[in-house]
C-alpha cells in the first residue's frame, strides 16, 4: 500500500471510530453494569457473541470456558495477527454512583476490562467495514479470567486455541488512570513483572503465653521468617533486576495469653527476570524452612507459580510507537517505565511476538480513581483513541 492509500485508510478509521463511538460507549456501559467474575463471564460472552452476530463476524465460543475468538479476513491472504481484550471483573463493591453502576452486588469492572472488550468490538466493526482495504487475517480474542490464577491466557494457549491459524503477532492494550485520555504509552522489552503467590504456614507447639519455655512461639518465628526473607531482595538478587517480595497477610489466631499452634503468612513475589524468579522461589523455601527449624518449629511453603514477565517484542513495539505517533501525534505517545504489577498477557509474549501498551483514561475534571478500587471511573472519551489506534495498528501490521 502506498502512502496515499494509507492516509486514506487512516482518515476512514478516524471517521468510522467517531461514527461508531456512541455504540462503543453503549457496549461498555452494558458490560460495566453487568460485570462477572473470572471464568464466570457467561452473560458477558453471550452479549459479545450477539454483537458479533449483528456484524456478521464468525467466531468460536467456549474458548477456555467462556472466551470467544472471532476471525476477520481481509481481501487476500497475508499475515495473521491477534488482538486481545479481557472480559472479567473484580470482587469489589462499586462506589462510583454512576447511573450504569454495577447491578451485581460485590462485583465491579474496576480494572477497565469492560472498556477493553467494548473497544475490541468497535475495532471489529471498523476492520470488518474496511476488509477490502487490507490483507491477511485478524483474530479477535475476548479472553476470560485475567484476574484469577491460572489466568485465562494460559488456559487458552494450553488448549491450542491459537494454533490454527497461528498469529505472527499479538497486540493488547490496558487502561491507565493516571494518564490523560487521548494519550498512549509503550515500553519495548521487559515491561511488567511476573507474579507469584507465596503461602507460608508455621506449625509449632502452642500454649500459654506466660510459659514461653514450654512451647514454640509461632508468632515470633513467623516474624523472624518475614524479616529474613527481606534479605533475598536486599542482599541476594542482583541490584539491576527489579524484584519485590511483600507480605500482605499474617494470621495467628491466638490471644493476649495464647500462642497459636499455627500462623499463616501470605504474600506476593514479583520480578523482571525469569531465571532469577526460579532461584528466588528456592531461596524462599530454604530460608523459611531453615528459620523455622532452627527455632524448633516447621514451616510449610506453597508458592503458586503465577503470570510470567510481560516482554514486548522490541522491533514490533518500536514500529507500533512510530505508527501511534503517525495516527495521533508525537506529544500523545509516551515512553513507559517498567511496572511491577503482573498481567496474564505475559503468556502470549512468551509464545508469540507481542505488543502490550497503555491508553490513558484520566478524567478531565473530577476523580478517576485507581485501578482495583471501588471509585475507579474511567474517562469514556479515551475509548475513541483506543479504538482508532488499535484498528490502525492492526491494518498496518
Q: Where are the domains of the chain?
A: 3-192+309-396, 195-307
397 residues of the chain, pLDDT tens digit each: 678 889 999 999 999 999 999 999 999 999 999 999 999 999 999 999 999 999 999 999 999 999 999 999 999 999 999 999 999 999 999 999 999 999 999 999 999 999 999 999 999 999 999 999 999 999 999 999 999 999 999 999 999 999 999 999 999 999 999 999 999 999 999 999 999 999 999 999 999 999 999 999 999 999 999 999 999 999 999 999 999 999 999 999 999 999 999 999 999 999 999 999 999 999 999 999 999 999 999 999 999 999 999 999 999 999 999 999 999 999 999 999 999 999 999 999 999 999 999 999 999 999 999 999 999 999 999 999 999 999 999 999 9
- Is residue 146 flagged as an active site residue? yes
Please tell me if the domain spanning 3-192+309-396 has the same topology as the one spanning 195-307. no
Q: What is the DSSP string of 243-302?
A: EEEEEEEEE---BTTEE-SEEEEEEEEEES-HHHHHHHHHHHHHHHHHHHHHTT-EEEEE
**Is the N-terminal amide bond of 390 cis, ω within 30° of 0?**
no
Rounded to whole angstroms, the Cα distance separating 336 from 334 reads 6
Q: What is the pLDDT of residue 391?
A: 98
CA dihedral for 336, 337, 343, 344, sign (positive or negative): positive
Q: Cβ distance 258 to 230 under 8 Å?
A: no
From 36, 146, 217, 343, the catalytic residue: 146
Of 316, 358, 359, the C-alpha closest to 339 is 358
Q: What is the pLDDT of residue 1?
A: 65
Q: What is the pLDDT of residue 266?
A: 98
Q: Cβ distance 184 to 389 under 8 Å?
A: yes
Rounded to whole angstroms, the Cα distance separating 220 from 68 reads 50
CATH topology classification for 195-307:
Alpha-Beta Plaits (3.30.70)
Query: What cell was used for 123?
Result: 475495532
Rounded to whole angstroms, the Cα distance separating 141 from 327 reads 23
From 88, 261, 343, 384, the catalytic residue: 88
Of 357, 389, 384, the C-alpha closest to 25 is 384
Number of residues that this document lists for the chain = 397
pTM value > 0.75: yes
CATH topology classification for 3-192+309-396:
Aminopeptidase (3.40.630)
Q: What is the pLDDT of residue 93?
A: 98
Q: What is the pLDDT of residue 4?
A: 85
24-to-28, 46, 119, 256 alpha-carbon distances in Å: 6, 17, 6, 57
Of 151, 157, 183, 162, the C-alpha closest to 336 is 183
Of 245, 361, 241, the C-alpha closest to 303 is 245
Query: What cell was used for 375?
Result: 471509585
Q: What is the pLDDT of residue 71?
A: 98
Residue 243, number of CB atoms within 10 A of its CB: 22
Pairing of strands 333-335, 184-186: parallel
Amino acid at each position: 500500500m502506498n502512502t496515499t492509500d494509507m492516509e486514506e485508510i487512516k482518515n476512514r478509521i478516524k471517521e468510522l471510530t467517531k461514527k461508531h463511538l456512541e455504540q462503543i460507549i453503549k457496549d461498555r456501559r452494558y458490560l460495566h453494569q453487568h460485570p462477572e467474575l473470572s471464568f464466570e463471564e457467561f452473560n458477558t460472552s453471550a452479549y459479545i457473541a450477539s454483537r458479533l452476530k449483528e456484524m456478521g463476524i464468525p467466531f468460536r465460543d467456549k474458548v477456555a470456558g467462556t472466551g470467544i475468538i472471532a476471525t476477520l479476513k481481509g481481501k487476500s491472504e497475508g499475515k495473521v495477527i491477534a488482538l486481545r481484550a479481557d472480559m472479567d471483573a473484580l470482587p469489589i463493591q462499586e462506589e462510583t454512583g454512576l447511573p450504569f453502576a454495577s447491578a451485581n452486588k460485590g462485583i465491579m469492572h474496576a480494572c477497565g476490562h469492560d472498556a477493553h472488550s467494548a473497544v475490541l468490538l468497535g475495532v471489529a466493526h471498523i476492520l470488518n467495514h474496511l476488509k477490502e482495504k487490507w490483507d491477511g487475517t485478524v483474530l479477535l480474542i475476548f479472553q476470560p479470567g485475567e484476574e484469577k490464577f491460572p489466568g485465562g491466557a494460559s488456559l487458552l494457549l494450553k488448549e491450542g486455541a491459537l494454533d490454527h491459524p497461528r498469529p505472527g503477532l499479538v497486540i493488547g492494550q490496558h487502561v491507565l488512570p493516571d494518564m490523560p485520555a487521548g494519550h498512549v504509552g509503550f515500553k519495548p522489552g521487559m515491561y511488567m513483572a511476573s507474579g507469584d503467590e507465596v503461602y507460608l504456614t508455621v506449625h509449632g507447639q502452642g500454649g500459654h503465653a506466660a510459659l514461653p519455655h514450654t512451647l514454640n512461639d509461632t508468632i515470633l518465628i513467623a516474624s523472624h521468617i518475614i524479616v529474613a526473607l527481606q534479605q533475598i531482595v536486599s542482599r541476594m538478587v542482583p541490584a539491576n533486576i527489579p524484584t519485590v517480595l511483600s507480605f500482605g497477610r499474617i494470621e495467628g489466631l491466638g490471644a493476649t495469653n495464647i500462642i497459636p499452634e499455627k500462623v499463616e503468612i501470605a504474600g506476593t513475589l514479583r520480578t523482571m527476570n525469569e531465571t532469577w524468579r526460579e532461584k528466588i522461589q528456592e531461596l524462599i523455601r530454604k530460608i523459611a524452612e531453615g528459620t523455622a527449624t532452627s527455632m524448633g518449629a516447621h514451616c510449610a511453603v506453597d508458592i503458586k507459580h503465577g503470570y510470567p514477565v510481560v516482554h514486548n517484542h522490541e522491533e514490533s513495539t518500536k514500529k507500533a510507537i512510530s505508527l501511534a505517533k503517525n495516527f495521533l501525534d508525537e506529544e500523545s505517545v509516551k515512553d513507559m517505565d517498567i511496572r511491577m504489577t503482573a498481567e496474564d498477557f505475559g503468556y502470549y509474549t512468551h509464545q508469540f511476538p507481542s505488543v502490550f501498551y497503555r491508553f490513558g483514561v484520566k478524567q478531565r475534571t473530577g476523580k478517576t480513581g485507581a485501578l482495583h478500587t471501588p471509585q475507579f471511573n474511567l474517562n469514556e472519551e479515551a475509548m475513541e483513541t483506543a479504538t482508532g489506534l488499535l484498528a490502525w495498528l492492526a491494518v498496518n501490521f
